Amino acid sequence: MRTIFRGVIMQNHQGHKGKGFTLIELLVVIAVIAILAAILMPVFAQARQKARQVSCISNMKQIGMATLMYAQDYDERFFGGSWGHRYWPFLSHAYIRGIPSNFREPARNIYVCPNDILLQYMSVESSRFITPEPARSWGLVLDSSGRYPYWCSYSINEHITDEWPHLSAWEDPSNSFLYLEGDDSDIEGDELDEMRFSHNGGSNYVFVDGRVKWHKAEFANNNPLVITNWVFPPWGRGGATGDRGPWTAPAND
């Protein structure tokens, strides 16, 4: 019996002889895996970027709808003046359902683009104006320099707060800026260096009617360093008479 068993083992060993991978075959397999990884990694990266863009659109949609609800409660008037362009995130927050935003943390904060997490700081003057209330009820805490830090990736169109805070003034609301992606609380046409284009060379925009749309940044001569080359968003000189197009209320400016 022992002899038979030993013979079977020898046969199995001989039968498998020569069926292992050679060095060349292993190198071929490794090369194929490397090629597949090189092909798939950009696809996965694009999918991840697209998911972040969609999440940003959802954030901005909620903020835009909250702003329109605020306007309905205040006789179709948006956040006006310096109060509006300094504190609009905290004024609109009361109209947003679901998970409340913690302005002191970026996680699960709808005022933060997942692709462009940005910490902003109020000026000392703006911080002093709301101390101790309503800053305390907004969950803000002063830092050592006397400013309120808060996480926010979006900016209001400064013309909304400064020139045309009434919804009825906007003759082309579906093509007029309400919110943009930026690194300041407000932006106008002479402050395009504050814009952020973190989604495939473009940015998400909320328009006055609440619509949200992605748009690619466009520059004449492919040169964004000269402000007059900015096609979209269009450049301007700031102020009611210095900007044009989607920045301002008159339809034919």
Mean pLDDT of the chain: 86
Above 70 in pLDDT, residue 11? no
Residue 88 predicted with pLDDT over 90: yes
Report whether pLDDT(36) > 70: yes
What pTM was computed for the model?
Answer: 0.80
Separation CA 116–CA 118 (nearest Å) = 6
Q: Tokens representing 8?
A: 């079977």
CA distance 87 to 136: 13
- In angstroms, rounded to a whole number, what is the distance separating the alpha carbons of residues 52 and 114? 6
Instruction: Report the pLDDT value the prediction gives residue 209, as an integer from 0 to 100.
Output: 95
**Cβ(101)–Cβ(183) under 8 Å?**
no
- Is residue 69 over pLDDT 70? yes
Confidence of residue 4 (pLDDT cuts 50, 70, 90): very low
**Residues across the chain:** 253
Give the per-residue pLDDT at 231. Answer: 95
Q: In what order do the strands lie in the sheet with 186-187?
A: 186-187, 154-157, 177-181, 202-207, 212-216
pLDDT in tens, 70-79: 999 999 999 9
What integer pLDDT is reported at residue 162 of this predicted model? Answer: 94
CA distance 243 to 233: 11
Half-sphere exposure of 164 (CA within 13 A, CB side): 23
For range 8-30, the mean pLDDT: 62
How does 69-86 read in b/e, with b if 16+ C-beta sit within 10 Å? ebbeeeeebbbbeeebbb
Question: Could you identify the residue written with the tokens 């462009």?
Answer: 116
Using only the alpha carbons of the chain, give its radius of gyration: 28
Round to whole Å and give the CA distance between 55 and 111.
11
At 156-208, the pLDDT tens digits run 999 999 999 999 999 999 999 999 999 999 999 999 999 999 898 999 999 99
